Structure 1
Amino acid sequence: MFSIYFGRIGNFLFYLVMCIYLYGDLAVYAAAVAKSLRDVVCIRNVTGGILSDADICFSTSTLTRMDVYRIFLLGFIVCMCPFLFFHVTKSRWLQLTTAGIRWFTYLLLICLAIDRAIVLRTWSGPDPPEPVPYPTPVRASGIPTLFGIAVYVFMCHHSLPGVITPIRNKHRLNLRVIFPLFLTILGCNLLLSGTAVAGFNNIKDLYTLNFVPDEHSYDTFKIPYLLAQIFGYFISLFPVFALSSAFPIISTTLLGNIRTLFSLFKPFQTDHAQKVLRYVLPFVVAIPPCAVSLGVNDISFLVNFTGAFAGSGIQYIIPAVLVYRARRYLYSMLHPDVGYENFASTKHGDEEPLYPTNVNSLDPASRGRNLGCCERLAAWWRSCAQMKVVGPHSSIFQHILWVIFILVWAIFCIVFVLVDKIYPF
């Protein structure tokens, strides 16, 4: 679809952003799996406080927690690499099973956090096992992280076609489906976040690791100790089950996008090049996220970076420019006398650049219009004001200001997070 409205450069940028986002996804998944296994296996509370990567993992070994993390990470990548050499197609039952585990774990996280919050606030003994959590209403240092993580968490619009397509009567679709869907997602995230801050003083970058059983598990839950241990280990290992099943699917998706990205260049369109890429690209997919995860095991940093930069491109920039170009295309088809470019009539649109490469190729009238920026801007604004198509499924956000607002908001998010990484709050 993207190649219909954009030239070769736009198509290349689209696949590039997609690949960067999927690389970030794989890095997050690999780090989360390795970190979960590390925290379950290693001994806890060695220093009596917050553990660091330099602490010893086993009392009988000199391996540090970072060493064990990297061992698990390399083992995970080795186990996942074979899936890259063949297509993962029949994953229906795998996805259904994973979805069931996700919902069960989600409810379990909320219930155990509520149970813990009640126990700490109704403690009748002399000294509670942990201080009662009283989170501050606003923490300025966490605002930049919120931008990236919020974009990553709300990356759900790719599921809308699967929800909308089966619906026959699409009358008032925004009020009946889209708004309730996003409100439900917001409510689920607020419920999970609210119970987390009410039950824990220190929330780890991977929330499930807060439930790793320790010496306080007996006192901080009302449920039987054995059941708390079982639930704790199940939640702690949940990323291993869920993300391991999703890793091959995302890797295959990234492999297809990279193959398409290479096919945009003529040297890689030959049969010999395709045979070489078939065996080289799986390593191109696996090595970069593994290298990133080996050096960075901070899940919040990886999620923040992926969401703020590549995520903003996918969630904000690409949909905004796609809607803008699609509206121009639709209006030009319905009103051919207006003078907009007819995308469908271009035989080699995918091979043409997005801008004139030679100013002499323009007619004198076009060169005159290009000289006046204010005139061009005014003409563009008038043309955008006319790009409204009335229909039963027309969007209520048809004005061009909505597209501009989305683009400005995306730039603000990217700049805000980038400044925070250079000059931390």
Structure 2
Amino acid sequence: MMIVLAVIRISKKQGQGHPSVATIGDVPNLFGVCVYAFMCHHSLPSLITPIRNKSKLYNLLAADYLLILLFYVLVSFTGIYAFHEIDDLYTLNFSQLDACDESSFITRVKFIQYFFALFLVFTLSTHFPIISITLRNNLKAICYNEKRPYTFLVDRIVCPLVALFPPFGIALATNKVEFLVGITGSSAGAGIQYIIPALLVFNARRQTAPSMADENVHRSPFRGYLWIIFVCVWAVLCMIFVTVNHIISRK
């Protein structure tokens, strides 16, 4: 929908974007975008598991990544030519640009206007309960002791409150969503999406190597340990560049 609306805006010669060929100063932003682009990877296990014949797995994954890249390119290029300045939360560009000028609307359809304005609310409303339950279960698993099982108070009240208080506190303390997204992407996001999976793969390979007598025909082309080191180094570079970008942009 966003791609179509941006294309319509450009086709009507209402595009406000005049991007430069390259801006070296925005390179740190590229690393932050790469961190969020990695989010497409978490859907791969659900794609691979039901496939019985994995002989053409690489071709399927290549087509999947090519499709993801195509959508990224379409969203990016239509956005930079349709809007003069692009918000960190892209859907905000499709909200009302000028309250006194109806011609500034991306679309006159009220439903679509409200949908884009509330899009972030929809996503958070669906993700927040699931993430909170996962965090609560992780806290219970980390602190669990078989000799001293949880009481009803700790199990049903304390653990859920510990999982709920931080996001509620942050929501009450600030409304700068773009800044929060940048912080989570540059630090927590990089750690969760790069470093932790790399370390899990490293330990899993060490534990399963003695039991793998036969060569795995479905082994990954990135099976070398140098790739794990590369991922960790890349994550550190992402965090450094994005943090520097936050500091520079705040001055």
- Confirm whether residue 161 of structure 1 aligns to residue 39 of structure 2: no
1:258-306 Cα distance to aligned partner (Å, 9 max, x none): 222222xx4x962355642420122212221122233333333222221
1:202-223 Cα distance to aligned partner (Å, 9 max, x none): 22232222222344443666x7
1:365-413 Cα distance to aligned partner (Å, 9 max, x none): xxxxxxxxxxxxxxxxxxxxxxxx7322011112222121111111111
Q: After TM superposition, list the pairs within 5 Å mapping 1:40-189 onto structure 2.
A: 108-121=1-14, 132-176=16-60, 178-189=61-72
Are 1:148 and 1:303, in contact at CA under 8 Å, matched by a contact in 2? Answer: no
Q: CA RMSD in A?
A: 2.6
- Confirm whether residue 260 of structure 1 aligns to residue 144 of structure 2: no
Shift of residue 119 of structure 1? Answer: 2.1
Tell me, in whole angstroms, the C-alpha distance in 1 between the residues paired with 2:199 and 2:53. 28
Tell me, in whole angstroms, the C-alpha distance in 2 between the residues paired with 1:216 and 1:113. 19
Normalising by the residue count of structure 2, what TM-score does the alignment of the two structures yield?
A: 0.85
Are 1:119 and 1:220, in contact at CA under 8 Å, matched by a contact in 2? Answer: no
Aligned position for 1:218: 103
Q: Displaced runs of 4+ in structure 1, greater than 4 A?
A: 422-425
Larger radius of gyration: 1
Are 1:148 and 1:417, in contact at CA under 8 Å, matched by a contact in 2? Answer: yes
List gaps (5 residues or longer) in structure 2. none
Shift of residue 230 of structure 1? Answer: 3.3
Aligned to 2:232, which of 407, 413, 418?
Answer: 407
Aligned position for 1:303: 181
| Residue-pair matches, total | 248
Shift of residue 171 of structure 1? Answer: 1.1
Shift of residue 170 of structure 1? Answer: 0.8
Aligned position for 2:115: 234
- Confirm whether residue 397 of structure 1 aligns to residue 222 of structure 2: yes
List gaps (5 residues or longer) in structure 1. 1-107, 122-130, 336-388
Amino acid of the structure 2 residue aligned with 1:392: V
Tell me, in whole angstroms, the C-alpha distance in 1 between the residues paired with 2:175 and 2:217. 49
Are 1:211 and 1:233, in contact at CA under 8 Å, matched by a contact in 2? Answer: no
Aligned to 1:318, which of 196, 202, 206?
Answer: 196
1:77-98 Cα distance to aligned partner (Å, 9 max, x none): xxxxxxxxxxxxxxxxxxxxxx
Identity of aligned residues (%): 41
Aligned position for 1:386: none
Are 2:95 and 2:105, in contact at CA under 8 Å, matched by a contact in 1? Answer: no
Quick one: structure 1 residues 272 and 235, their matched pair in 2 at CA, closer, same or farther if it must change by over 3 Å? closer
Quick one: structure 1 residues 293 and 237, their matched pair in 2 at CA, closer, same or farther if it must change by over 3 Å? same
Tell me, in whole angstroms, the C-alpha distance in 2 between the residues paired with 1:293 and 1:192. 29
